[in-house]
Amino acid sequence: MKFYPLAKPYITAKDKASVLEVLNTNYLSLGPKLSEFEKKFAKKLGVKYACAVSSGTAGLHLSMLAVGIGAGDEIITTPFSFVASANSILCVGAKPVFVDINPLTYNLDPAKIKEKITSLPADRRKKLKAILVVHIFGQCCDMGAIQRLASKYKLLIIEDACESIGAAYKGKLAGTFGQAGVFAFYPNKQMTTGEGGMIVTNSKKIYEICNSLKNQGRAKNDQWLNHKSLGYNYRLDEMSAALGISQLEKLDFMIRKRRQIAAWYNEILKPYDDIVQSPMTAAVNTHSWFLYVIKIKNKKIDRDLLIANLKKAGVSSKQYLPSIHLFDFYKKLFGYKKGDFPVSENVSGHSLALPIYLGLTRRDCEYIIHKLIAEINNLNDAG
């Protein structure tokens, strides 16, 4: 029986040769490939600066520090995300202020952001420093509305674009709206460096702070082993940078292929819209499809049992995503409980991601969807 994993990196002979080329040099870290990757990435995004780091999480952490977020500050963000987004706020001593999501796009709901801001007492509102937007699954947030709110209430914007390289809102790329944008290159992403991430910004100051902090706080052009501030080892190595350069060259091709797979899924699922809610792409958005996440409409279906049954049929699927506020340590820290963010909780409880990676054919997509519908019907009958 053929097995369909949830994700699979697209690695070519050129990718492998690029890494091998570095291994045959004396530069395995802090070499020329790093700066080349950064410059090419900045050009691709249309920004002035790009700072390569060891992960998207590292990029979020440094971005928080670089824009001056710290103890006592409060940051508006989403509970429906990979936990690293909210954790990056905690890592600098600030507090995440969760706001519920749009029930169709699963991104932050601007109306809920405004509602949260205006409901806070004056002393709490003064603590608000920024909005950490998370462009979920490859789709941009409603950045027009969010930028207007940020401007009105004098808030910074940091973009977690770790899932959304190549996505756009009204033609403008994810990661280029705020003071800083962060990308990740884990193997399941649209492009990969194994591990790794990138911070992009048009601010020279933010870039220089990030560049220093990722290298143990060493200042620009400073002497070896002379460090001006407390920093971290968040560097990206030369092998990863070389792979990143090679992957970046075919990023548009890889995203086009992912869009084709998503289009096949959408078409095949059309007769089943009474059973499954397909992903919704806002009219102003261009999707880059990190994941293809569907929602089961019958709330009585045991989603986790569905995932287990699909695995037996050769189809990997997974919950995306748990609601962060219901993790034990968030409940302990802030007293969150079920019902605090009902839209996020509803999506978390009834959604699952289907396989999406280069190499899937239309026939593969048909098999996956037919197994999905069959297993849902089996659970309906059993229930």
In the three-class reduction of DSSP (H, G, I as helix; E, B as strand; rest coil), residue 226 is classed as coil
Exposure string for 196-234, b = 16+ CB within 10 A, e = fewer = bbbbbbbbeebbebbbbbbbbbbeeeeeeeeeeeebbeb
Q: What share of the chain is helix, strand, coil (3-state, %, to 5)?
A: 45, 15, 40
Sequence-separated (6 or more) residues with CB below 8 Å from residue 334 = 95, 325
44 is catalytic: no
| Phi, psi for 39 (deg, rounded to 5) | -65, -40
The answer, yes or no, to whether the previous bond of 326 is cis (omega within 30 of 0) is no
Helix 238-249 / helix 13-23 crossing angle, nearest 10 deg: 150
Kindly state the helix (H) or strand (E) to which residue 223 belongs, with its residue range. none
Sequence-separated (6 or more) residues with CB below 8 Å from residue 80 = 101, 106, 134, 136, 321, 323, 324, 341, 344, 347, 348
Sequence-separated (6 or more) residues with CB below 8 Å from residue 21 = 242
Q: Where are the alpha helices (DSSP H) in 223-341?
A: 238-249, 251-269, 303-312, 328-334
Taking the CA of residue 96 as centre, how many other CA atoms within 13 Å lie in the half-sphere pointing to its CB? 28
Q: How far is CA 93 from the centre of its chain?
A: 22
Q: Where are the alpha helices (DSSP H) in the chain?
A: 13-23, 32-45, 56-66, 84-91, 110-119, 122-127, 143-152, 204-213, 238-249, 251-269, 303-312, 328-334, 342-350, 362-382
In the three-class reduction of DSSP (H, G, I as helix; E, B as strand; rest coil), residue 197 is classed as strand
How many CB atoms lie under 10 A from the CB of residue 117? 19
Are 189 and 196 a contacting pair, CB within 8 Å? no
Q: Determine which one of 189, 214, 257, 371 is catalytic.
A: 189
Q: What positions carry a catalytic annotation?
A: 189
